[in-house]
Chains A and B, each alone.
Chain A
Amino acid sequence: MISIKDLVVNYGGIEAVKGISFDVPQGSIVTLIGANGAGKSTTLKAISGLVRPKSGSISFLDEDITNKDPVAIVAKGITMVPEGRKIFADLTVLENLKIGAYLRKDKLDEDIEWVYSIFPRLKERHWQLGGTLSGGEQQMLAVGRALMSKPKLMMMDEPSLGLAPLIVKDIFNVIKRINENGVTVLLIEQNANMALHISDTGYVLETGVITLSGPGEELLENAAVKEAYLGK
């Protein structure tokens, strides 16, 4: 669905991504794991157009989107759940969801109900300001907001960041459920265990290069991965 070729991105004066290539097939969950500063977030930012790549190409559904601006990329059907959730604190939950569908011109009621069916908690709190939600609820809202654009590809930047283990489990279950609904997912995680369990393919990113790749279950058994990310 999306394929990245030899992507090089400079970010803040350093070469954060040094020529990586990977594919996300339609209908799959793909995870990039790696430590802080490995270039995971920069890769997502480059795909969503928030950062311009230095060289390399990104193509989505056989169309080159390398230097497109963020608005055009969202319009193509790629949305991002940003790191640290970044919900709109002074807007109500419902307004947050509507903002997610900003580029759509059709009726939203059905999709709002769909998001509410995935996250019943959001329905209970639809009138509350985003900033008054708990961390887990904010993450739900961030995911719900991204879903409102009816994405073909949803990219998630560390959805488990700063959440209690039980809630992390919920979030990953939801990611699986969304994927079963036909949304392709590109996931970035430090919580390698959880992420690899649900993903079809995993890539290990280290200081800007891909050092390992393979099916999620296989990477979980890999000795190097175990040592570096699973604490063994």
Chain B
Amino acid sequence: MKSNSSNKKMGLSTILTIASLIGIVVLLYMIDQHGFLGSYWTRVLRLSGVYAISALSMNLVNGFTGQFSLGHAGFMAIGAYVTSLLIIPTPNKAIQYYVTPVLDFVGKMHAPFWLALILGGLLAAIAAFFIGFPVLRLKGDYLAIATLGFSEIIRIFITNLIPITNGPMGLKNIPASANIWWTTGICTLTVVFMLRLMDTSYGRAIKAIRDDETAAEAMGISLFRHKMMAFMMGAFFAGVSGGLIASVVGTINPGFFRFTLAYEILLIVVLGGLGSITGSVVGAFVLTISREWLRFLDNGFSILGIIKVPPIAGMRMLFFSVLLMIVILYSRRGLFGSNEFTWAGLFAFPGKWKNKAANLFDSAKQKAGRKK
């Protein structure tokens, strides 16, 4: 009887999942073929998808394995450069390297977009392997500082390897292969991969390491091996997202991959909830879209026609500081904590809020009563 009812529930949520997936595909088709949203907002959606992939990969290391790493920008840079160098048409490359000629091999290499993305991811993972050896023996703040340092080292390497990377001038005319199908598709693949991973013994092991290293070791879990695997997988997806970002934006230079990029992604992860896949995806879309939508704040505005705020560049960033403070004050573990989206949870949601509101109302009444 019990299993029957849970089967029915399973069936319902599967139907809902398939229905919403079809809905998304139809929406993507509308956006792609009919210019449903206009090219500007389509681009914002593409960027959101890419940031979601970066956030997921950072969440794998920081949220699920509990290793506070800030080396993300470096791995994204590797992925971005490898992908770009592989997909920029060869004649175009020769024109771009007008100060120092391009290395022969780099000038000639070319690959289809999907292969370029995978290679970018793999190279980032290899870099993570070598960085991980010394770094993953550290913990907490020390790990964060060391990974941040390595990320800067990668960036400085890229700045100075001029015959390969064109140095500070960066790369231009990167083909816009990453249309909305690519970004949303790879984002979905990453989500599915993460969800499946967390249900394997490997996924449980990394969560166990996060909860208690000594106990995990006493269960026979090799700490270093698991941290390394998580670090490399995180770097792989970071590399892929870097490749996608290069293709969405169209130009890259070393300045783009400063540590501020790692902080931007960390903001998404923390806002969404460390250890929540749903949180990272929702956080990426909310932050990326609102960052564009709030541009009007930079142009100056007036509050009720009384207080006039002059145009200040970066005014909208103030909004994110306030948003982060509100989230930290009212839900310290981010929007989703370490929970995931479920259909059952969605349907229970309004009820939960009603209860919460009712409780608040009751306690307010009690307080008022006591005062009398």
List chain A positions with a Cβ less than 8 A from chain B: 48, 50, 70-71, 74-75, 79-80, 82, 86-91, 95, 98-100, 102-103, 130, 145, 149
Interface residues on B, range: 10 to 19
**Does B208 lie within 8 Å of A99, measured CB to CB?**
yes
Q: Do A88 and B218 form a contact, CB below 8 Å, given A98-B201, A99-B204?
A: no
Contacts of B205 in A (CB 8 A): 99, 102
Within 8 A of A (CB), among B324-365: 338
Contacts of A98 in B (CB 8 A): 201, 204
Contacts of B216 in A (CB 8 A): 88, 99
**Does A50 lie within 8 Å of B214, measured CB to CB?**
yes
User: Could you give 10 example pairs across A and B, Cβ below 8 Å?
Assistant: A50-B218, A71-B220, A74-B219, A87-B212, A89-B212, A90-B275, A91-B211, A99-B216, A102-B221, A149-B220
Query: Per a CB cutoff under 8 Å, which of A86, A90, A91, A102 touches B220?
Result: A102
Q: Does B217 sit at the interface, judged by CB under 8 A?
A: yes
Q: Does B210 sit at the interface, judged by CB under 8 A?
A: yes
Within 8 A of A (CB), among B175-207: 201, 204-205, 207
CB distance from B6 to the nearest CB of A (A): 12
Q: Does B215 sit at the interface, judged by CB under 8 A?
A: yes
Contacts of A80 in B (CB 8 A): 218
**Does A91 lie within 8 Å of B217, measured CB to CB?**
no
Chain B at the A interface: SS class: helix
Across the two chains, which residue of chain B brings its CB closest to A48?
B218
**Does B220 lie within 8 Å of A74, measured CB to CB?**
yes
Most chain B CB within a 10 A radius of its CB, from A70, A74, A91: A70
CB distance from A113 to the nearest CB of B (A): 16
CA A161 to CA B219, docked complex, whole Å = 20
Q: Does B222 sit at the interface, judged by CB under 8 A?
A: yes
Q: Do A71 and B221 form a contact, CB below 8 Å, given A88-B211, A88-B212, A98-B201?
A: yes
**Does A91 lie within 8 Å of B218, measured CB to CB?**
no
Query: Per a CB cutoff under 8 Å, which of B210, B212, B219, B275 touches A102?
Result: B219
CA A145 to CA B204, docked complex, whole Å = 13
Q: Do A145 and B219 form a contact, CB below 8 Å, given A90-B207, A99-B205, A102-B205?
A: yes
Q: Mark B205-243, 1 if CB is under 8 A from A, else 0.
A: 101101110111111111000000000000000000000
CB distance from A49 to the nearest CB of B (A): 9
CB distance from B199 to the nearest CB of A (A): 10
CA A87 to CA B201, docked complex, whole Å = 16
Q: Do A90 and B210 form a contact, CB below 8 Å, given A95-B204, A102-B201?
A: yes
Contacts of B220 in A (CB 8 A): 70-71, 74-75, 102-103, 149
CB distance from A51 to the nearest CB of B (A): 11
Q: Do A99 and B219 form a contact, CB below 8 Å, given A50-B214, A90-B210, A91-B204?
A: yes
CB distance from B221 to the nearest CB of A (A): 6
Most chain A CB within a 10 A radius of its CB, from B210, B212, B219: B219
Across the two chains, which residue of chain A brings its CB closest to B64?
A90
Contacts of A71 in B (CB 8 A): 217, 220-222
CB distance from B31 to the nearest CB of A (A): 38
Q: What 10 A-B pairs come out closest when comparing CB atoms?
A: A74-B220, A86-B215, A88-B211, A103-B220, A80-B218, A70-B217, A88-B208, A99-B208, A86-B212, A71-B220
Most chain A CB within a 10 A radius of its CB, from B214, B216, B275: B214
Across the two chains, which residue of chain A brings its CB closest to B275?
A90
**Does B338 lie within 8 Å of A90, measured CB to CB?**
yes
**Does B221 lie within 8 Å of A88, measured CB to CB?**
no
